[in-house]
Structure formats: structure tokens, C-alpha cells
Amino acid sequence: MNRLPPAIRRDVPLAPLTTLELGGPARFFCQASTAQDMVWAMRWAAAQALPVFVLGGGSNLVVGDGGFAGLVLQVVARGMEFLPQGDAVLLRAQAGEPWDEVVAAAVGRDLAGIECLSGIPGTAGATPIQNVGAYGQEVADTIRSLRVLDRHTLEVRDLAPADCQFAYRTSRWRRDCEPPIVLSVTFALRPGGRPTVSHKGLAAVLTQRPSLSELRQAVLDVRRKKSMVYDTRNPNQRSAGSFFTNPTVSPAKATEIVAQALRENLVRSAEEVPQYPQPGGGVRLPAAWLVEGAGIRRGLRMGPVGVSSQHALALVHHGGGSTADLIRLAAHVRDAVADRFAITLVPEPVFLGVAWPGSDAGGKL
């Protein structure tokens, strides 16, 4: 393997390709803009007996300090199409299209369905893997189909939403060790539809009948105040967004948390404990509330990493740190919540070349 094909690069740093700016290099690296490019790269990796990791925008990724010993395949296909179909308009976005540009294009055409997902970093192709969601919307609400490349057969297939097994912040593909490579995502949007205003924080700053563009701006403003919009001028910029998902507990456990919060003077009334009943009978609790209730304060520093000064769920790399530093901080936050509330938070990012402490899966190695 001394002479590499022109499309393959060796020892490419991955830190600059992630929003955390942490982690070691990819042993091999290739950019692909077409399905043919991907098939060629997958065949090359198979011939070398190399594992393959597909990289999007790097906004939800934790890379180990040792990097990745296989091929990192970065999907860079761009483009959007708007196709009227009955009462809907189908928006087909190529996998490498920056997600916020997709949302902006939909809102600019007065198409409702993804406006609350404004400001989320990453690429369109990554959104169905995690079932990206925020402020009362998630991509599963509007996804009509996916076009994917099967890693095993190297055939292009179209998948329906039912094939994805969407759930809260996850999908079948998040749980699959070798998920298909997303080529494009098609969303069914509502022309002239009313914006979704189900989040209390948004409702408080909006008029009674906001336009899609007004709601989008409100979401961006709220996210910006929480340092959840990527901005190179922001001291909290190097993060992966919310590091933990919001846990769903039983009604009995939620009642226990309320009683504990009152007993320990975390709140003055039961109504101050945020709870969100779920269709399945559980109750979702905000992880940020649990983190702060466990004594983890915004702005906490542990050397070169810390908790964002604007949002308790965002773990920040301040520069000069390592992934090992970040993992220690994250485990400290997780353990503080477990000790205080007997709830174990689950990390949201994907781990590449590093294990999440205590995980049976051991991370994506």
C-alpha cells in the first residue's frame, strides 16, 4: 500500500473536520461527491481489509486521540430540488448539503415542516441517522424517503420512513454497526403551512401568528444565546451541541424527582420541575435541568475543556486539549447526575476510535 490511488490521502487530521476540534488523524481519507465515487472507495477499502467511517459535517462526532485506523469517507455531494406533489412540495437534499442551508431554502419558499430545526450544524445526510430534532420538531416528521448506498451489496436503494425505525434522537441506522451511506434525503413540506410553535421558550418571544421566517429567526436567536449556533467568535464554539439526550423515565420516577427537588430546595414548587409526558406513558426530563440540579454549573472548567457558559448540556473544548480530557469531563457530568438523581445520562454524539466509559458497545472503534 505504498502507492495510493490519487483520490486517497494518508494521515489526514480529523480535528479540523469536527466542531469539537479534537482527535487524531484518519489513516486514510477520501472525499466522495457521487455514488460512483463511494462505490469505488468502498471497494478499495474492502480490498485492503479496512473499516470505513462515513463523515458528514463533524458536528456530532467525538474522535479519539489516536484517530481512526481505517478509511474516513467524507460525503460532499451538494444540491437541492423542489418537486411539487399534490398538497406537498418534496425537497430533495443531497447528503453533503449543509443542513441550515436546507432549512433556510425551505423557509425562503414558505414551506413548513423543518423551520424549528434552524441553526443546527452538520449535513442533510446525517439528519436521519440521529433523527435530528429541536423545539418540537424532528426530521422524522417530514422525511418521505432516503436514497442510500448499501455497504454490503454496493447497490443504491430507496428507503421509506418505516425502514428507518425512527425514535427519539435515534434511528435504526444509529444502532447499526454498518449503516447504509445516505446519498440524499427527501422531505415532504407544506406550502404556506403554519409554523410549529409548541416550545414554551419560542412561544414566549413570538407573536400569536408568526411567519415561518419569524419563527426561524426566533430559533436562531434562542440558539445563539445558548451558544448553539456555530460562530468562530464565540468562546463556546468548540462543542458538539447537546452532549447528552433528555432521559425518559417512568411516571413514578418523575414523581420521585419532583419530591427530591422540593426536599432539597432545588425548586420552590412542583410546577418548576420541567416534565414532558410522552405518548408511551413515560415522562421526559430535560437533561440540562438534571445537570444543573446535580451541581454542575455553566462555565465549569476542567483544564482545557469545560461546560459552556451558556448551556449546561454543551461540553466545550477551549483549545489545547485532548479527547481524553473531554471524556473525563463528560463522565464527571454523567456521574454527578447519577449520584444525585439515580438517572444515567446517555451521550448524543457518535464516538469514533474512543470508548464511552461504561458502554457495553465500547464506542465505534
Q: In angstroms, rounded to a whole number, what is the distance separating the alpha carbons of residues 229 and 331?
A: 25
Among residues 71, 70, 78, the alpha carbon closest in space to that of 34 is found at 78
- Marked catalytic residue, from 169, 174, 224, 284: 169
Among residues 51, 46, 61, the alpha carbon closest in space to that of 27 is found at 51
The yes-or-no answer on residue 169 being catalytic is yes
The yes-or-no answer on residue 242 being catalytic is yes
Structural domains of the chain sorted by starting position, each given as residue range(s) with its CATH number in brackets: 9-75 (3.30.43.10), 80-225 (3.30.465.10), 239-352 (3.90.78.10)
Q: pLDDT under 70 in the chain at which residues?
A: 1-2, 359-365
According to the model, what pLDDT value does residue 294 have? Answer: 98
188 Cβ contact partners less than 8 Å away, ≥ 6 residues apart: 85, 88, 89, 90, 113, 142, 143, 144
According to the model, what pLDDT value does residue 2 have? Answer: 64
Three-state secondary structure call for residue 277: strand
- Marked catalytic residue, from 242, 298, 308, 340: 242
Beta carbons within 10 angstroms of residue 81's beta carbon? 11
Beta carbons within 10 angstroms of residue 4's beta carbon? 12
Q: Take residue 361 and report the three cell numbers written for it.
A: 458497545
The answer to whether 25 and 5 have CB atoms below 8 angstroms apart is no
Q: In angstroms, rounded to a whole number, what is the distance separating the alpha carbons of residues 119 and 223?
A: 7
According to the model, what pLDDT value does residue 364 have? Answer: 35
63 phi/psi in degrees, rounded to 5 = -100, 135
Residue 215: DSSP 8-state = H
Three-state secondary structure call for residue 56: coil
Query: What are the residues facing 262 on neighbouring strands?
Result: none
According to the model, what pLDDT value does residue 109 have? Answer: 97
Q: pLDDT digits over 36-46, tens only?
A: 999 999 999 99
Three-state secondary structure call for residue 105: helix
